Amino acid sequence: MSLVLDEHRQYLSDTIRLAAFRAAIQEVIKPGNVVIDLGAGTGILGLLACRAGATRVYSIESTGLIQLTREICQANGCSDRIQFINELSAQASLPELADVVVADQIGCFGFEAGLFEYFRDARQRFLKPDGITIPSRIDLVIAPIDSQQLRDQVEFWNTAPAEFDFRPVKAMAVNNSYPATFTPDQLLGDPAILASLDASDAPPSLLGLTATVTVSKPGTLHGIGGWFSATLSPSVTLTNSPLSENRIDRQNMFFPIDQPVPVVPGDRILITMSILPTDMVITWKVVVQSATGNVNKASFSHSTIQGMLLSKEALQKTKPDFIPTLTPRAEARRTVLELCTGKNTLAEIERETYRRHATLFRSLDEAAKFVTDVTTRNTL
């Protein structure tokens, strides 16, 4: 089974998630509204919008899944009200402004699936001045975590697998975030809201976000946990919080620290995060202060920049004095694009590309596959 299909099976199997979106859509969308289902997937949110009385739904989906979305909407008798757009929303255009934009591009920690970027663009180009987004607000929530199991994932690189030294990986491992499913007993203190953000007006860079948590039970600090709480409508909230009875089936995020720190009730944990959502760059600084005064027990600073897999060859190409030249495949791609003049057929472009780059492709069929990939991504 396609992993994409199975991913959407899991979304549709999450009855708490579906119930929340159904309730919010029923509360927000009024008969006659024009609605955008952004990142439509299987089209479930658009179908719920039709059921709520939407006159027209623009279903925007950039992947090949959109063909299944068409068939699903037809099977449910909604094809006459749904228009399908097979593009990234940032590259799409619409013939009219919408009353509501709905999407579940929230991710595990509220930002990493692109919601803020997509909604900011939708607010500027797609929505009426009084238009509404679902969700309207996202809270980024954090808490100190005690989890030896998660710690072991980072420490694995120090265990000499197959009796070889893999310790160079440890420095990268501790500068990465990890999907996790927290339980209430793993929290060393009450959660804190790191940021509360308008879903369609959040800044491109979230810098210097701070929160302080007081430790409420003895344990060992292994890192910081993150999750979200999304305001879908005035009376509906969606969250993957480990403390919620109505938690949706979605993982949290774990941000490790370099060394475990024993903590006791009254200790304070000062957390600072900076997030570049579009680039998926996250920096987290953690300071542990003793309960008996403001003495620092430990201090850590981490960044996903330090955890990126970048070869020295790739870094060389980022230097300002580097002089780039096109690879043979890039030259072939340029040929394809230059031949897309609006006069040449696809078959003609395939033959000409193969003729010019015969050393690159083993057959005309191989060249045809290459041309199809380029044209489907770059032409109208």
Task: Please state the domain count of the chain.
Answer: 3
Identify whether residues 302 and 352 lie together within a single domain. no
pLDDT for 247: 97
Answer yes or no: are the C-beta atoms of 142 and 225 closer than 8 Å: yes
Same domain, 218 and 144: yes
* Pair 143, 288 in one domain: yes
Residue pointed to by tokens 């930002």: 111
Q: Same domain for 251 and 339?
A: no
User: 312, 341, 370: which is the final residue of a domain?
Assistant: 312
Domain membership flag for residue 100: yes
The pLDDT assigned to 315 comes to 81
* Predicted confidence pLDDT, tens digits, the chain (380 residues): 478 888 889 999 999 999 999 999 999 999 999 999 999 999 999 999 999 999 999 999 999 899 999 999 999 999 999 999 999 999 999 999 999 999 999 999 999 989 999 999 999 999 999 999 999 999 999 999 999 999 999 999 999 999 999 999 999 999 999 999 999 999 999 999 999 999 999 999 999 999 999 999 999 999 999 999 999 999 999 999 999 999 999 999 999 999 999 999 999 999 999 999 988 899 999 999 998 877 899 999 999 988 888 788 888 888 899 999 999 999 999 999 999 999 999 999 999 999 999 999 999 999 999 999 999 888 88
CATH number at residue 252: 2.70.160.11
262 with 142, same domain: the answer is yes
Which are the contacts of 276, defined by CB distance < 8 A and separation ≥ 6?
204, 205, 206, 282
Same domain, 148 and 93: no
Instruction: Judge whether 283 lies within some domain.
Output: yes
- The answer to whether position 364 is within a domain reads yes
**Confidence (pLDDT) at 166:** 95
For residues 308 and 332, state if they share a domain.
no
Which domain range does residue 362 map to?
328-378
CATH (domain of 73):
3.40.50.150
Residue 323 lies in a domain: no
Residues 280 and 170 in one domain: yes
If you count them, how many residues does the chain have? Answer: 380
Based on the fold, state whether residues 247 and 159 are members of the same structural domain: yes
Q: State how far the Cα of 191 lies from the Cα of 244, in Å rounded to an integer.
A: 12
CA distances from 136 to 24, 44, 106, 367 (A): 11, 19, 12, 47
Closest CA to 58 of 151, 125, 142, 9: 125
CA angle 187, 191, 194 (to 5 degrees): 135
CB 126 within 8 A of CB 99: no
Indicate whether 115 belongs to any domain.
no
Tokens of residue 323, six digits = 């002089």
Same domain, 13 and 85: yes
pLDDT at 164: 95
| 291 is a domain residue | yes
Looking at 288, 312, 336, the residue that finishes a domain is: 312
Last residue of a domain, one of 87, 104, 121: 104
Tell me: do 161 and 247 sit in the same domain.
yes
Is residue 171 a contact partner of residue 107, using CB atoms and an 8 Å limit? no
Same-domain check for residues 97 and 146: no
What contacts 208, CB < 8 A, 6 or more positions away?
Answer: 272, 274
Q: Report yes or no on 51 lying in a domain.
A: yes
Residue 114 resides in a domain: no
